[in-house]
């Protein structure tokens, strides 16, 4: 069974890792659109267009299911991807919401990029289930992580700036609606002491149970649209071993 995973960049490798841990035998093709990263500051139309192009590339590689490892793309493009292509499509939003509903006592916080929060994708699904929802866009979190500032004074102040209102609202569960945010988990947990923090990569891997079979040759292929800075370092950091990526120096074809 061959599964395709795409993200705007390298953050989605955390999802790849979780999927691999749960399905050691499947074949995985990963695409990171580093030539156009980030998606979180683009319009919904552009995010949908980019997502269709990424999906088409993976389907041309023969994948039989698609995992959208980017929260912004998951928020806007999952219905379009399901319409266009005849394979199962799993985004990160629904599994994260289900996990939150399993754990919450009634007050859930959601943080993400401006585009993810503006989409209302998490908020709608949580409200339908009858819980109180508090959401906040945290545009500085991704740059902080990419700058390596995953803890310390500046990061603590930015965490306080963004999460103060969620703390005051006394949320009991927080969804990290961006693949970069798990790297800030320690400072976030420190600030929101007793709050349950949900990292959706495990939830996504769990959601694939019943959709895909754990069989294949255990291969992993990595494609990126640009050789961005620290690419090899980040691959080894997240996956725990050096894997050579293929760079698509012309990007992915238009759909």
Provide the annotated active-site residues: 70, 178
By CB under 8 A, name the one of 10, 16, 29, 35 that touches a second copy: 35
Task: Choose which of 167, 211, 226, 243 interacts with a second copy (CB under 8 A).
Answer: 226
How many angstroms separate the Cα of 239 from the Cα of each of 12, 28, 119?
Answer: 11, 13, 30
Regarding 31 and contact with a second copy (CB under 8 A), the answer is: no
Q: Which is nearer to a second copy, 48 or 97 (CB)?
A: 48
Q: Is 206 in the site for a second copy (CB under 8 A)?
A: no
Closest contact distance (angstroms) between CB of 46 and a second copy is: 5
Least distance from a second copy to the Cβ atom of residue 248, Å: 11
- Give yes or no for residue 37 binding a second copy (CB under 8 A): yes
Should residue 43 be labelled a site residue for a second copy when binding is judged by CB under 8 A? yes
Q: How far is CA 39 from CA 11, 178, 182, in A?
A: 12, 11, 18
Q: DSSP assignment, residue 106? A: S
User: In angstroms, what is the minimal distance from the CB of 228 to a second copy?
Assistant: 6
Q: DSSP 3-state assignment of 59?
A: helix
Q: Is the dihedral of CA 34, 31, 91, 255 positive or negative?
A: positive
Residue range at the interface with a second copy (CB under 8 A); choices 68-76, 103-111, 138-146, 202-210 = 138-146
CB atoms within 10 A of CB 200: 32
Is position 255 an interface residue for a second copy (rule: CB under 8 A)?
A: no
Write out the two tokens for 68: 């959208």
Please say which residue, 62 or 152, places its beta carbon nearer to a second copy: 152
The tokens of 156 are what?
Answer: 């603590």
Report residue 244 as tokens: 């050579």
227, 233, 237, 246: which one contacts a second copy (CB under 8 A)? 227
Q: Which is nearer to a second copy, 84 or 101 (CB)?
A: 84
Residue 41 engages a second copy in binding (rule: CB under 8 A):
yes
Q: Which of 25, 105, 161, 186 binds a second copy (CB under 8 A)?
A: 161
Q: In angstroms, rounded to a whole number, what is the distance separating the alpha carbons of residues 140 and 142?
A: 6
CB neighbour burial string for 45-63, b if at least 16 within 10 angstroms, e if fewer: eebbbbbbbbbbbbbeeeb
CB contact at 8 A, 111 and 135: yes
Could you say which of 34, 72, 75, 179 contacts a second copy (CB under 8 A)?
34
Report the alpha-carbon distance of residue 69 to residue 177 in Å, rounded. Answer: 11
CB of 158 to a second copy, least distance (A): 6
* Residues 16, 239 contacting (CB under 8 angstroms): yes
List interacting residues with a second copy (CB under 8 A). 34-37, 41-43, 45-46, 49, 114, 118, 139-140, 142-144, 146-147, 149, 153-154, 157-158, 161, 225-229, 249-250, 254
């Amino acid at each position: 069974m061959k599964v395709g995973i795409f993200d705007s960049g390298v953050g989605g490798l955390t999802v790849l890792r979780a999927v691999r841990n749960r399905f050691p035998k499947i074949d995985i093709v990963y695409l990171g659109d580093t030539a156009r990263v980030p998606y979180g500051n683009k319009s919904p139309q552009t995010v949908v267009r980019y997502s269709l192009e990424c999906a088409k590339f993976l389907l041309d590689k023969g994948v039989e299911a698609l995992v959208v490892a980017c929260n912004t793309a998951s928020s806007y493009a999952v219905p379009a991807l399901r319409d266009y292509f005849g394979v199962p499509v799993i985004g990160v939003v629904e599994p994260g919401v289900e996990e939150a509903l399993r754990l919450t006592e009634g007050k859930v916080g959601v943080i993400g990029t401006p585009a993810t929060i503006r989409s209302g994708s998490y908020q709608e699904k949580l409200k339908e289930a009858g819980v109180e929802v508090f959401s906040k866009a945290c545009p500085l979190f991704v740059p902080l992580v990419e700058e390596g500032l995953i803890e310390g004074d500046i990061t603590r102040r930015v965490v306080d700036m963004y999460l103060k209102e969620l703390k005051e609202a006394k949320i009991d569960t927080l969804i990290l609606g961006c693949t970069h945010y798990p790297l800030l988990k320690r400072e976030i947990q420190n600030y929101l002491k007793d709050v349950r923090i949900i990292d959706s990569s495990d939830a996504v891997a769990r959601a694939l149970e019943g959709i895909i079979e754990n069989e294949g040759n255990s291969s992993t292929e990595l494609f990126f649209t640009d050789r961005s800075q620290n690419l090899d370092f980040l691959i080894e950091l997240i996956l725990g071993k050096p894997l050579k990526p293929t760079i698509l120096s012309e990007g992915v074809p238009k759909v």
